[in-house]
Amino acid sequence: MKTVLIATLALLAGAAQAAPKACEELKTEIAAKLDAKGVKGYTLDIVATDQVADQTVVGSCEGGSKKVVYKRG
């Protein structure tokens, strides 16, 4: 069972690394999901991974080099 779990996680990790998502595409997808849930008054910004401080990270793009961060208001 443990081997199957490890293999599954490795497969998922490999798939995520194989096709890094463009940041603007990911930001658009996240905004659509938030809008569909009725969330209002928010901003999504794309920042370099090393520039993330106390922000809420809602996505990772460009192979993990950048993050999409959420801010209310």
Single pTM value for the model? 0.70
Between CA 30 and CA 36, with CA 35 as vertex, the angle to 5 degrees is 100
Instruction: Quote the percentage of the chain above a pLDDT of 70.
Output: 74
- Tell me the two tokens of residue 14: 């490999």
Q: What is the pLDDT of residue 9?
A: 46
Q: Judge whether 14 lies within some domain.
A: no
Q: Report how far residue 63's alpha carbon sits from residue 58's, in angstroms, rounded to the nearest whole number.
A: 15
Q: Judge whether 3 lies within some domain.
A: no
Quick: pLDDT tens for 48-70.
999 998 999 999 999 999 999 99
Q: Judge whether 4 lies within some domain.
A: no
The domain of 67 spans 20-72
In the chain, how many domains are there? 1
